[in-house]
Structure 1
Amino acid sequence: MNTTTRRLLAATTLTTALALPTPAHAATDYPGHTTSSYVVLTDTTTTQAHQHGCAEGRTGTTGPRILFFGTQEKNDTLREPGRTASSPTPRAPYTQAAQYAHHWARGFTECRTDQATAHLALGVNNKDDSGLTGTHAGQRWAHLVTTARDNSTTDAVTITTALDAEPSWSTPRWARDWLTAYTKATDIPLYAANSADSCPTTTSGDCANGWTLADVHHMAGAGNPRIHVIPQIYRTDGIQARQWANISRWGHTHTGDPLRFAGAMSQHTACSQRSCNNTDNTPQQAWAQLKKALDAHHSTRVNNLGPATDMRWP
């Protein structure tokens, strides 16, 4: 198979999956989950990347997996997840993220069962404490993901992008500039794995850090068909699910465009590795909370909500 044909097939696979066709099972059936990871590049090896991909391949589950590499900094480097700008931890070059993705994809392909496929989303967050502009950060991440996708050697794994956009981490302007720059630089689809910090559950009030519902709705895809949201549904009380249903309802009312939900994100495994307080929904609990909240209103009802994805540390 030549390179052009392989890329066309990969693009077709990604478009089909993002369209989320109605599954054969009933719409209310939980479709299972995948595992996504925070990746500390300075502590990992190509062997570990291969092992992590292999473990996901063996599950036989088709769906997105997100690799969160942390925060973008100057000179195309990454600060590991969970660290501030003042942290002395070593920075890793973007190229290490591409190499990790390559070996993860090889492992997945070699070990997969039931002809499973994956969308491997290379993710960063919207922390604006590194001195980069949102425009520069979005452009450079688009370049990295495009390069990684062009160099892919397997049709079982499609390289795509993820952004963990959280209102508490940047100004809305910085985040909007990132997304604008990214979408201008590439047509590779993006998974929005976002939070909705302090957003209302039933009204049109504001969210945290000067963000409005319009800002959160925009960063979750708004009218862009290449962006699907996998929102963070961590809290056991269900508030986050109701926030996201309200954001989607707001979009339907004010812009005519409810959000395109690809699934729900939990952090149950990460909480078992590091302590959490009432934010340890299982993947099935996160999925069920979101599905219930979305189905409560006709404008946000979904018949084919995709699998959950559960975060873990390496």
Structure 2
Amino acid sequence: MVRTPSKSLKPSFWRRVAVASLLTTLVVLGVDAVDQPAWAAPPSAKSYYVTGYSTTWAYNEGCALGTQDKNTAGTQKHVAVLDFGKLYLSSSGTWMVGMFTGTDVSLASARVMAEQFVKGYWICTEADLSSTVYVAMGTNNCTGTITSSAGAAMAAQAYTGWNNVQNNGWSQGFVIGANDFESWVGSNCTPVSASAARAWIDGYNGATNKVFFVNYGGADGCPTASVPSSGGCNSVFPAETIWRVSWSGLAYPLPEIYTTSGTQASQWKYLSLYSYLNHGSKFTFKGVMTQSGACAQSGGCSGTNNSASTGWSQLNTAVNSDSRTATTPDGPTDIRWK
């Protein structure tokens, strides 16, 4: 069933008002959020490390998620990340993404893949007119060009993609920007300085006032039982920088909640409390990211293979243990290789 644009319903991506009102009422009545019954994790989406350019693949994956939502009761709200690896400026002046295997393509081409994912989703949701997907063009800060110009380039393509899908009437999907801001150092990652990361997000925020952004990185070194200081967590990415790339301007956190022990969920609870105490507002989480799919493909990764539902439940439990950080994360997304 192919729908006409007039049948679609443009959703709002802002706050979950009903949940916020409930939590506020509980706090006023003196009911501790941690005492409330556990909430079931929302259905998850799939995210991908992209290993080759294919608009057909992107359309089909969007259609698969749309079909899932069509057959699931209620309204679903997803973020699906297409992780293209590094973003860099070529010698000819073209912004390129590195891919994980295969030939590098332009950032504009990556945007077209995101648009096709949205198209497939919109068509295949059929009678479900309210569920939504935000398709994020993801890069990272391990390699490539990490400057304010790079952030602005991402914002420009996200803005173009956002407008293109709406102009085509694919109103249940949106193209957004994303970055995997990491602070760990390993064989495949040598992250840039905190100042470069801040320049990147400032470039993004300065180039658009419309298209939000998600940080799907980690919080390495942050405490799991206390609020970090502004310079705490680690020397590469102190807490204030993690806050900046996750919650300033148009940025939202979509944190990695990989650890089965729940340590990463605790880190992000205290980062949200850091934001509340130092910047006046707790985090609104655009979901959580897990990696059970990628782990299964690679033969396993003991201790960091949370399922999507487990990762979501860990974060939901952690943030709702304190009324100052209480919120309901959006649905989880689990990353794997394309």
TM-score range, shorter chain: 0.7 to 0.9
Q: Which runs of 5+ in 2 are unaligned?
A: 23-36, 70-75, 185-190
Shift of 1:149: 2.1
User: Partner residue of 1:272?
Assistant: 296
Shift of 1:55: 0.7
Q: Secondary structure at the match of 1:77?
A: strand
User: Partner residue of 1:234?
Assistant: 258
User: Partner residue of 1:50?
Assistant: 59
- C-alpha distance in structure 2 between counterparts of 1:171 and 1:277, whole Å: 30
State which of 91, 96, 112 in structure 2 corresponds to 1:77: 96
- C-alpha distance in structure 2 between counterparts of 1:78 and 1:150, whole Å: 21
User: Partner residue of 1:214?
Assistant: 240
User: Partner residue of 2:133?
Assistant: 118
State which of 147, 155, 159 in structure 1 corresponds to 2:175: 159
User: Partner residue of 1:65?
Assistant: 80
- C-alpha distance in structure 1 between counterparts of 2:16 and 2:179, whole Å: 20
Cα distance per residue 1:115-150 (max 9 Å; x no partner)? 3321112222122x33x3411211111111122222
Shift of 1:44: 3.5
- C-alpha distance in structure 1 between counterparts of 2:18 and 2:46, whole Å: 22
- C-alpha distance in structure 2 between counterparts of 1:133 and 1:262, whole Å: 23
Shift of 1:108: 1.2
- C-alpha distance in structure 2 between counterparts of 1:44 and 1:259, whole Å: 34
Shift of 1:18: 3.1
- C-alpha distance in structure 2 between counterparts of 1:104 and 1:45, whole Å: 11
- TM normalised by structure 1 equals 0.85
User: Partner residue of 2:17?
Assistant: 21
Shift of 1:193: 1.4
Cα distance per residue 1:131-177 (max 9 Å; x no partner)? x3411211111111122222222112112222211123221111100
Question: Are the structure 2 counterparts of residues 22 and 308 from structure 1 closer, same or farther at C-alpha, using a change threshold of 3 Å?
Answer: farther
- C-alpha distance in structure 2 between counterparts of 1:300 and 1:197, whole Å: 20
User: Partner residue of 1:86?
Assistant: none
Q: Is the 8 A contact 1:142 1:185 kept in 2?
A: yes
Give the alignment of 1:1-314 within 5 angstroms. Answer: 13=11, 16-22=12-18, 28-40=39-51, 43-60=52-69, 61-75=76-90, 76-81=95-100, 90-113=103-126, 114-115=128-129, 116-127=131-142, 129-130=143-144, 132-152=145-165, 153=168, 154-168=170-184, 169-187=191-209, 188-201=211-224, 202-204=226-228, 206-222=232-248, 224=249, 226-274=250-298, 275-302=300-327, 304-314=328-338
Cα distance per residue 1:10-43 (max 9 Å; x no partner)? 5xx3xx2232333699872322212222212xx2
Cα distance per residue 1:54-111 (max 9 Å; x no partner)? 1111111432222111110122111124x8xxxxx63211122022112212211221
- TM normalised by structure 2 equals 0.79
Out of 263-272 and 110-119, give the one that drifted further.
110-119
Q: Secondary structure at the match of 2:18?
A: coil
- C-alpha distance in structure 2 between counterparts of 1:252 and 1:145, whole Å: 29
- C-alpha distance in structure 2 between counterparts of 1:190 and 1:103, whole Å: 19
Q: Which runs of 5+ in 1 are unaligned?
A: 84-88
- C-alpha distance in structure 1 between counterparts of 2:241 and 2:77, whole Å: 31
Aligned residues: 291
- C-alpha distance in structure 2 between counterparts of 1:190 and 1:165, whole Å: 12
Cα distance per residue 1:186-219 (max 9 Å; x no partner)? 1211122121011112242522343211111221
- C-alpha distance in structure 1 between counterparts of 2:77 and 2:275, whole Å: 29
Cα distance per residue 1:219-257 (max 9 Å; x no partner)? 1104x3x33211100011110001111111122222222
Q: Secondary structure at the match of 2:59?
A: helix
RMSD of the alignment, in Å?
Answer: 2.4
- C-alpha distance in structure 1 between counterparts of 2:228 and 2:161, whole Å: 40
